[in-house]
Amino acid sequence: MKKNTVLVTGGLGFIGSNLIEFLIDKKIRVINVDKVSYSSNFYNVKDFIKSKYYKFYKIDIIKKNKFLKVLNKEKPSAVFNLAAETHVDRSIDSPHEFVTNNIIGVYNVLEAIRKYNVSNKNIKLIHISTDEVFGDVKKGRSDENYKYQPSSPYAASKASSDHLVSSYYRTYKLPVIITNCSNNYGPKQHPEKLIPKLIYNILNNKPLPIYGNGLNSREWIYVKDHCEALYKIFLDGKIGSFYNIGSNKNLNNIQVTKELLKIAKKAIKVGGKVRIKFIKDRPGHDKRYALNSKKIIKELNWKPKTNFNKGLKLTFAWYKDNKMYYKYLNKKDITQRLGKK
């Protein structure tokens, strides 16, 4: 086992690529395993693709034996599992992909690590999940003991994977840690998600689509703060534990949109077609997510450093200055309306 080597699945995606950049800055060698799906983007890794601390394998985690071969060859000390289908709207239109990747794929990762650990030093698995597994949190904040009540096929697939990972700790003593994070935003996020979708439309003089009445509330965390939390968990997190990672800052979609428009109007000339457009809500849309993150704050001395206004400014500036990012995407994946079924 190489203590200074870790493996990240889904490293061409949003959180994965930001995490790799964070780890490389810490002089940690990172093995990136990604199947290269519609949301994967090689532009995300352009700044470190030639680094001696970086290596890429095009592998789908559904292919257990291929994944095991990488473990045997690279001998990482930990696996950060970020390979997942993540867009709720897509899960409504095509739940099969979410069951396959988010449940069967995680099973294959677990089995590969279990087989590897029989004859090697134990690899630690850090499984990254979501606050959506808790469903609507109408009052207060959900801590690590809050009941799972997922609403969408996406949330259900992530809840299933969390339970599966936890069971491998209980049954096989596999060294695992599970994290549940709130809504991430920041550079390199696919524009199917709210904030990068709004930014794309602002930059291209298009209306700003908002589901329902726009009052759905989410807890927003800047992706770099999430990466720092994962790093602290990697170093000092307790095996078998769950950790919530959030900002304790909730905003509804109208508030997010208005804040973003203020930032955009100071940075560029905003076109006349850029205005809020309310559209039909998606089925089963949760009203509010809110995490209690006191555990990680107390145990690992972590707390988010980036307030929402600052993070949103950094995010808008990145997309404005990196328009080549969009050239690596299928335009249909940016503009297509999903979640209508």
Enzyme catalytic residues: 131-132, 154
Residues 12, 56: Cα–Cα separation, whole Å: 9
Query: What's the one-letter identity of residue 289?
Result: Y
According to DSSP, the β-strands at 54-58 and 176-181 are: unpaired
d(CA 253, CA 291): 17
C-alpha dihedral sign at 159, 85, 211, 200: positive
Cβ atoms of residues 329 and 190 within 8 Å: yes
Residue 69 CA: distances (Å) to CA of 1, 64, 219, 279: 14, 9, 39, 47
Residue 252 tokens, joined: 């509804």
How many CB atoms neighbour CB 57 within 10 A? 18
As given in the structure block, the two tokens for residue 233 are 């968990």
Report yes or no: 275 and 207 within 8 Å, Cβ to Cβ. Answer: yes
Q: Are strands 276-279 and 54-58 parallel, antiparallel or unpaired?
A: unpaired
Distance from first CA to last CA of the chain, Å, rounded?
47
Are the C-beta atoms of 232 and 226 separated by less than 8 Å?
Answer: no
* Rounded-to-10 torsion of CA 184, 189, 190, 195: 60
Residue 204 sits at φ, ψ, to 5 deg, of -115, 20
Alpha carbons 32 and 29: distance in angstroms, whole number? 10
Pair 90, 96: CB distance under 8 Å: no
